[in-house]
Chain A
Amino acid sequence: MSNETYLIVSYLAAGLLCFLFGWGACLWLRRSVDGIADAVPQRKLGDLLRRSFPISLVLFVLTSFFSVSYYGGCGRRPYEKIVSDRDYITQVNQQQLSKSLDSLVLSVGIWGAIILLGLVAIRRAEKPARNEAGQNPGT
């Protein structure tokens, strides 16, 4: 395999792996997010949570993957030098995976906060219902 082919294949493989990380995380958490979305009193909000969850997770991961540059930091590495050094290509691929996983942690953390707000909304909707039931015990 030529170095150029190696660069292309490794880039695509790393991208696919990052996408699978995001999608796998979605599948792992999706059922519980759906359950919370169903319990949220406002149906539209539930729909919004359900639909935006997978999109945001995958986009977060892919954004981090795309943000890693092969050109390096301050001293811009020329293309020929990038292609000729397989170790460097592997290191960049590892960096892409690492950043994607970091962003997955961040996005799940943000979703944890959003779900917390959803749970507060569910609890607030429960209270008036209980109060009404308490005022009309015969019904």
Chain B
Amino acid sequence: MPAYNAAAFLFDLVISVTVILIIYNLLGKSLRELLDKVIRVPAGTAFYMRAFLLILFCAALSKVVSGVHQKPDAHFMEYVWAVATDISGVFDSLILIILAYVAVVTILVVVLKPKNE
């Protein structure tokens, strides 16, 4: 892999991981509290929290791992556009996953019916 492509790939990776960590930090605490209240089985909460993180990482990596394939004589902005296209794919996946996850949590709340405080 040429050096510029490798640098673009690393840039892709760093941006994706940063975005995932931000999302997890934003949602993690309240999600855990909600799951604790709804599920009442500690292993169940642990499963859904860990699965959430794993799915976010795998979905982002699956887009990033396809890599940037620019020719050595490509201009700087062409690399930027290639990275932007990859990041767009990553964001698409993350949005779909978050929506699907929220749907699953809503089903959990409806089915398991936690007692209101």
Binding site for B on A (CB under 8 A): 21, 25, 28-29, 31-36, 38-39, 87, 90-91, 94-95, 97-99, 101-102, 104-105, 108-109, 111-113, 115-116, 119-120, 122-123
- Decide if A94 touches B66 in the complex (CB within 8 Å): yes
> A29 contacts which of B54, B66, B107 (Cβ < 8 Å)?
B54
13 residue pairs bridging A and B, Cβ less than 8 Å apart: A31-B46, A34-B43, A35-B43, A97-B62, A98-B66, A99-B62, A101-B61, A102-B62, A105-B58, A112-B47, A112-B51, A116-B107, A119-B108
In the assembled complex, how far is the CB of residue B5 from the closest CB belonging to chain A, in whole angstroms? 10
> A32 contacts which of B1, B43, B111 (Cβ < 8 Å)?
B43
Interface size class of B (residues with CB under 8 A): 20 to 34
Within 8 A of A (CB), among B34-66: 39, 41-44, 46-48, 50-51, 54-55, 58-59, 61-63, 65-66
A-B contact count (CB 8 A): 92
Q: Whole-angstrom distance between the alpha carbons of A116 and B62 in the complex?
A: 26
- Decide if A29 touches B58 in the complex (CB within 8 Å): no
Q: Whole-angstrom distance between the alpha carbons of A34 and B50 in the complex?
A: 14
Binding site for A on B (CB under 8 A): 1, 39, 41-44, 46-48, 50-51, 54-55, 58-59, 61-63, 65-67, 69, 97, 100, 104, 107-108, 111-112
- With a cutoff of 8 Å between Cβ atoms, the chain A residues found around residue B48 in the complex are 112, 115
